[in-house]
């Protein structure tokens, strides 16, 4: 996980350097022209609402909901870790914006007005972190396999649509969105690595307490209560 997280970080750094050199502009312009083409304006109009799923207010609510659910599931440490990770990711994203100083797109009139710098996209990064962490928790759960993968697919769709919405609204370049996804993916991978051992230990303890979940092995050395067989 650390290797993959490192690759994500390296990719963000390289992408920022390419942006500074102007190497991404032609591709950014081509994607923006495609997303904002006249034929897609109406079909993509729901993205003006979908984008709220990556807003700071919404993601804050999601992190609190994750914290509450993990407390109910008797894993408060995991809920705290998830909420803290999302919060730190938000702070880190703001710091990177200040370091890169990329201005917002001016290629088309924006549908919404956003302040601050552009790279990386905060909506894209935070949606990747928040929904990515939820996906990790779902995959570690005891839900049926098809339910787990269905939820993960829906979460992946939401992450993708939030990123596209930022380009559609004219408030981010596509490379901003890619940078947000990479940065968010790095944070999720670090979360996976940091919580894997504790999660495995938690599930082992739950299994040992469940009926038939290891109690038979623990009782092999216990005194037998049945009478001995006749010789």
Instruction: From first to last of the 231 residues of the chain, give the pLDDT tens digit.
Output: 889 999 999 999 999 999 999 999 999 999 998 988 888 888 999 999 999 999 999 999 999 999 999 999 888 999 999 999 999 999 999 999 999 999 999 877 777 888 889 999 999 999 999 999 999 999 988 899 999 999 999 999 999 999 999 999 999 999 999 999 999 999 999 999 998 866 655 555 555 555 555 444 444 444 444 444 444
Q: Pick the catalytic residue: 36, 75, 97, 172? A: 172
CA dist 187 and 195 (Å) reads 12
Give the other-Cβ count within 10 Å of 17's Cβ.
11
DSSP secondary structure string for all residues of 67-102: HHHHHHTT-HHHHHHHHHHHHHHHHHHHHHHHHH-P
User: What six digits make up the tokens of 220?
Assistant: 């092999």
At which residue do the structure tokens 């905060």 appear? 122
Element (H, E) at 176: helix 174-209
Q: Pick the catalytic residue: 122, 123, 181, 189? A: 123
101 is known as an active-site residue: no
123 is known as an active-site residue: yes
176, 119 contact by CB (below 8 A): yes
163, 46 contact by CB (below 8 A): no
CA dist 212 and 81 (Å) reads 31
User: What six digits make up the tokens of 26?
Assistant: 């032609």
3-state class percentages of the chain: helix first, strand second, coil last, to nearest 5: 70, 0, 30
Global pTM value: 0.84
Give the other-Cβ count within 10 Å of 56's Cβ.
11
């Amino acid at each position: 996980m650390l290797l993959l997280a490192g690759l994500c970080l390296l990719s963000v750094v390289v992408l920022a350097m390419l942006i500074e050199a102007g190497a991404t502009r032609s591709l950014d312009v081509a994607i923006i022209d495609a997303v904002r083409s006249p034929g897609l304006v109406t079909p993509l109009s729901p993205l003006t609402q979908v984008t709220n799923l990556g807003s700071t207010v919404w993601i804050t609510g999601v992190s609190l909901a994750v914290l509450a659910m993990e407390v109910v599931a008797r894993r408060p440490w995991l809920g705290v870790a998830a909420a803290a990770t999302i919060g730190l990711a938000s702070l880190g994203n703001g710091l990177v914006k200040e370091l890169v100083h990329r201005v917002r797109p001016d290629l088309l009139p924006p549908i919404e007005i956003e302040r601050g710098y552009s790279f990386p996209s905060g909506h894209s990064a935070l949606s990747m972190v928040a929904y990515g962490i939820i996906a990790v928790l779902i995959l570690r759960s005891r839900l049926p396999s098809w339910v787990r993968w269905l939820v993960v697919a829906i979460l992946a769709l939401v992450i993708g649509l939030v990123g596209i919405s930022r380009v559609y609204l004219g408030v981010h370049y596509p490379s901003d969105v890619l940078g947000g996804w990479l940065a968010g993916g790095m944070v999720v991978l670090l979360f996976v690595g940091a919580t894997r051992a504790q999660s495995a230990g938690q599930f082992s303890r739950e299994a040992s307490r469940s009926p038939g979940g290891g109690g038979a092995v623990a009782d092999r050395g216990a005194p037998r209560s049945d009478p001995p067989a006749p010789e």
